[in-house]
Amino acid sequence: MNRDEVRRNLPWYAAGSLAPEEAAAVEAELARSPDLRRELKEWQAIESAAAAPRAGEPEFRGHVAQAWARIEADERTERRVQARAPLAELGAWLRNTWLAMPVGGRVALAVQLALILAMGATFELSQRAESGFRTLAGSASTTPAGPRLSVAFEPTATEAQLRAVLAGIDAEIIAGPTPEQLYTIELHGRSASAEAALRQLRASRGVVRFAARDGE
């Protein structure tokens, strides 16, 4: 609880209506601040006057309690509004950006997100299945099951296009991407022809941007 919150809670502290944890926070701040202690004395004087009016003066304790209750209700409403602010901002973004975007744009964005998730899942599975493979950075590896190639895909390529290219050369992604957006792919089978796979990859214009033997 910060200083401003403590100051707002002084009337309820003087009235003894704060929760124990809130009262403890107020007391901790009061111990450090003479200004807050002076303000508390003023609120305690008001509370005392409301509790015991002088002879001939009207009883206004109930009115003070009602006023404090209204103030507290307003502050609770404000806190709820502030708590919902992030959700409101997200809703505004959905209305102003996502929902206002043409259907084609939403589809393209969704496809790109699905591609990123699929690449991440493929990389995670390959990491678990072959924890010691040699990455493009040059760490230790197990014996490859087949030839390995370095490939960079076009940013506009779809997941379906990537799968089709990899299936055409009987290969899978086993690492990547690097900061240069390179992936390591492995051809299935030791007898697979790396040269033939490279020719096919380089011919896949619009999907493959770069292809070479791993490490070149």
Asked whether 150 and 212 are in contact (CB, 8 A), the reply is yes
What does the domain layout of the chain look like in residue ranges?
3-96, 105-213
User: How many C-alpha atoms does 129 have within 13 Å on its Cβ side?
Assistant: 12
pLDDT at 133 (0 to 100): 43
pLDDT at 213 (0 to 100): 84
175 vs 76, higher pLDDT: 175
What's the predicted TM-score (pTM) here? Answer: 0.35
* Highest mean predicted confidence (pLDDT) among 90-104, 115-129, 142-156, 172-186: 172-186
Residues 6 or more apart whose Cβ sits within 8 Å of residue 204:
165
Rounded mean pLDDT, 108-120: 71
Chain-wide mean pLDDT for the chain? Answer: 75
pLDDT at 208 (0 to 100): 92
55 vs 172, higher pLDDT: 172
Say whether pLDDT at 99 is over 70.
no
pLDDT at 192 (0 to 100): 65
**Which of the residue ranges 47-56, 103-112, 118-127 would you say has the lowest mean pLDDT?**
47-56
Say whether pLDDT at 135 is over 50.
no
Measured between alpha carbons, how far is residue 131 from residues 150, 170, 174, 214 in Å? 19, 21, 10, 18
Kindly compute the dihedral angle of the four CA atoms of residues 96, 97, 102, 108, in this order, to the nearest 10 degrees. -160
Say whether pLDDT at 150 is over 80.
yes
pLDDT band at 177 (very low <50, low <70, confident <90, very high): confident
Say whether pLDDT at 127 is over 70.
no
The CA distance from 184 to 170, in Å, is 14
Q: How many residues does the chain have?
A: 216
